[in-house]
Amino acid sequence: MIRPTRSHPAWIGFLVHRLSGLALALFLPVHFWALSRAIEGEAALDRFLAWTEDPLVKASEGVLVVLLAVHLAGGLRVMALEFLGWRARQKDLVAASFGFALAVGLLFALHVG
């Protein structure tokens, strides 16, 4: 029986994909709460939008974008595994996934800054 090693890039890619999905799932109720500010009226939405100008909130938006990109890239990697089969270049796919997520994060940071 072959035991996967936890330091293998494919296993790390698996772990990051699952953790990013969990973090996004935890963010979802906060997102719905933020959307509910619009239902409560213009004043509540304006207070919320003023709060989003805080630098810490801006930084967390960047983290959220990177999490989304990591999860997207990891999902595409998994789909490639399922439809294309196991390849010897799994390390390359993991590196490409992380590179894609980093590029998206940097583009977002340049746009926000």
Reported as a single tens digit per residue, the pLDDT across 48-68 is 889 988 999 888 888 898 888
Domain assignment of residue 93, yes or no: yes
- pLDDT tens for residues 7-29? 777 788 888 889 999 999 999 99
Tokens of 66: 């990177």
Q: How far is residue 65's CA from residue 93's CA, in Å, rounded to a whole number? A: 20
Tokens of 91: 């390390």
Domain assignment of residue 7, yes or no: no
Could you tell me the pTM of the whole model? 0.71
Domain assignment of residue 8, yes or no: no
Q: Number of structural domains, the chain?
A: 1
Provide the domain limits for residue 80: 20-112
Domain assignment of residue 10, yes or no: no
**Cα–Cα nearest to 94, from 84, 81, 85:** 81
